[in-house]
A and B are shown apart, each in its own frame.
Chain A
Amino acid sequence: MVPLVTKDFLRTTLRPRHRPIVRALAEALFSPAGEATPERLDAFVDEVDQFISPASKTLRFGLVVMLGVLRWSPLFFGKFRLFDDMTVDERIAHLERLDRSKVKQLPLIVVAYKTVMTMLFYEDQQELAGLGYPGHARKRYLKVAS
């Protein structure tokens, strides 16, 4: 890793009330059978916060509002529970319902967070190695042009 010469921006976006929602979402997306440890999920919330924080005020505000909507969204479907109070299987079923919803804003909540969180979660070297990704090693460029 080449050390970065310049300073990095250090602001944060997520407040304590947002963190359980992000963690619950991560658990549903990446740990449906308990694959990720609680420590990994806790640390992952920080990674999400660090990633989204360089964005503009308006985008960060939008992302925070989405978390609020996600938290209360089970009520839209007659479930009297908050998203982060649901079991993992219930959360998965709920997210699938949102993803298929005909109300066009609801799938976007799932897509927005799933996109960011998937990119971050599977950037972990162990996860990548588990998929068979060889890191920096490449072979094709070594072939002689025919």
Chain B
Amino acid sequence: MTVNAEAFDHSLHHEPSKAERLPVLRGREQTRPFSADVDVVVIGSGAGGAVVARELARDGRSVLVLEEGGHYSPQEYGALPPSQSFRRLAREAGMSVALGVGDTPLISLLAGKCVGGSSVLTGAVCFRIPNEVLHTWSGELGLSRMTPDGVDSYFEEVEDICHVETVPHHMRSRASELFAEGAASLGVEMKSMRRNTSGCRGAARCNFGCPNGAKMSVDVSFLPDAVRHGASIVSDALVQKIDITGGKARGVRGRFLDGVTGEPGIPFEVRAKVVVVACGSMHTPVLLRKSGLDSVHIGRHLTLHPAVRIGALFDEAVDGWDGALQSVYSDHYWKEGIWLNGVYSAVNVLAAAFPGIGHEHRRLVKNSPNLAFFGGMVHDDGGGQVRRWLSREPLVTYKMIRRDKERLLKTIQILGKMAFGAGAREVLLPIFGMGTIKKPKELDFLSENKIAAPRIECMAFHPLGSAKMSTARETGVVKPTGETWDVENLFVIDGSILPTSIGVNSQLPIMGVSMMLARGLVDDFAKHARKALA
């Protein structure tokens, strides 16, 4: 690897007094143009990019990771209050949305924008891709390697690296226990989740960055190992274009984001034999389009797993903040496209969704210790689209099909019944302008499907599929190897390539698929390097 030495010599050495700090060159503090010549440049440092960077660095390749977001150590982000965490670690300060088209809710989207990407902001929940989904991919879609036998070894390896463990019963919060009790009242079994944690202290604020450094997000698992094997990481580095000549990717160009304004400033250029795009489902399509790729599938087929949560007010003190943020789940309604997850969050963030204005809202806020939250999400059918727009952030639209709206309403109804089944005296439904309800019968209106979808408070954490993998150029953006159909030596390895919704939390699936594709890239690297020189 050759780089503009001055910039790196000062910034990329380990500080003995802060051994835990990942050595990252902070683009926002750069004052001069920067250039580098490497084997592989990886754009994005989240669940996809970090895995690729580690695998290629371990194979002895020179690897440079470019991350648009800032860099904060676990000690730094663990000490941030939730709002500051959103402000510094999340895209749009946590205010990203997918605009609903037709009878569709406005869907709030949480995505990371920091070294470590969304893995820093997940609830640490880890599920493998369900076998039914893999059968669809390998059968109907012809992706022959995507079978349970084909991917299991990669999942095992990823789970070992990021320490996936089952949440012990004693770490269930009282809110999760009540969720399980409510589910049992409907004859539904709640199972213990698996999460990538080590030494969890049940602070219940994983989605703002673990305050105890216990969540094994990629910034504390994959990226440090990549760096140990020679990879370099640059933060605040906005890649604006992939250099493509002669049908091959040759590198990238961009600008560092200014330390005060946040706007693009000092330019940088990286030449590389292989370019890996791992910007996530909302930004990978934007970069591909800006770089001249024109497949009609770029930006289409976005799936979100639209999710809802309800609040349940109990007579007893629940203190839901004491215990693992998420610890139980149910696949009981899997065949109906519904997945139930125990949820919690910071009190002030939960309070934001309480119904009422003024006195009524304050009444509910004051009852926060007695509130539990139950959540669920829908296995959806890709109705989303990502487009370039007026600013650096894309325009994301989503059209929910009638079946998925019915699933969403049914999820709310099931969760409401579980809340009453657990003994809740009031239930807070995720429907704008609606007060609390006090009887199970008041949930009946949900089965009539008469409520307009825009009135539903909806969120999503798993955008997938906007640059999907396919076995033919006409049906997708990347080949089964992750290389784009249109440009040689240009790979996409992140959640955007998953060809359908998966119905479960996406962190581990992205890591597992990325590991599989990264290994393929390692095996074929010499071939790609020869093509780059041709």
Contacts and interface: CB of A to CB of B under 8 A. Distances in A.
Interface of A: 1-2, 4-11, 28-30, 32-33, 35, 47, 50-52, 54-59, 88, 92, 95-96, 99-102, 104, 107-108, 110-112, 114-116, 118-123, 127-128, 130-134, 136, 138-141, 143-146
A25 to B, nearest CB: 10
Contact of A54 (B75, B201, B262, B353): B262
Given A9-B260, A29-B358, A104-B452, A99 B93 contact: no
A111 B78 CA distance: 28
A106 B455 CA distance: 11
Given A107-B455, A141-B171, A57 B369 contact: no
A123 B350 CA distance: 11
Contacts of A100: 432-433
Given A7-B28, A141-B201, A2 B75 contact: yes
A95 B357 contact: yes
Nearest to A33: B359
A120 to B, nearest CB: 5
A11 B262 contact: yes
A143 B200 CA distance: 12
In the complex, the 10 A-B pairs of residues with the closest C-beta atoms, listed nearest first: A122-B348, A100-B433, A32-B358, A7-B259, A9-B262, A56-B391, A92-B358, A118-B352, A56-B393, A104-B454
B170 A132 contact: no
A124 to B, nearest CB: 9
Interface stretch (B50-58, B79-87, B217-225, B402-410): B79-87
Which interface residue of B352, B368, B392 has the most chain A CB atoms within 10 A? B352
A119 B433 contact: no
Contacts of A120: 83, 348
Given A7-B259, A141-B201, A92 B452 contact: no
A7 B454 CA distance: 39
Contacts of B75: 2
B203 interface: yes
- Size range of the chain B interface in the assembly: 35 or more
A140 B172 CA distance: 8
B362 A30 contact: yes
A70 to B, nearest CB: 13
Contacts of A110: 357, 432
A123 B323 CA distance: 20
A8 B369 CA distance: 34
B443 interface: no
A104 B447 CA distance: 21
A92 B359 CA distance: 9
A118 B358 CA distance: 11
Interface in B249-288: 259-262
Given A123-B81, A131-B366, 13 more contacts: A5-B73, A7-B259, A29-B361, A32-B359, A56-B392, A59-B393, A99-B433, A101-B433, A119-B351, A120-B348, A121-B348, A133-B368, A139-B322
B390 A118 contact: no
Contact of B369 (A59, A132, A143): A132
Contacts of A1: 79
A6 B366 contact: no
B322 A4 contact: no
Contact of A51 (B93, B172, B349): B93
A1 to B, nearest CB: 5
B211 interface: yes
A116 B95 contact: yes
Given A58-B390, A132-B368, A140-B202, A118 B351 contact: yes
B70 interface: yes
A119 B259 contact: no
Contacts of B348: 118-123, 127-128
Contacts of A35: 362
B420 interface: no
Contacts of A139: 322
Given A55-B93, A139-B322, A114 B362 contact: no
Given A120-B83, A132-B368, A138 B322 contact: yes
Contact of A57 (B79, B211, B346, B390): B390
Interface in B329-366: 346-349, 351-354, 357-359, 361-362, 365-366
B58 to A, nearest CB: 28
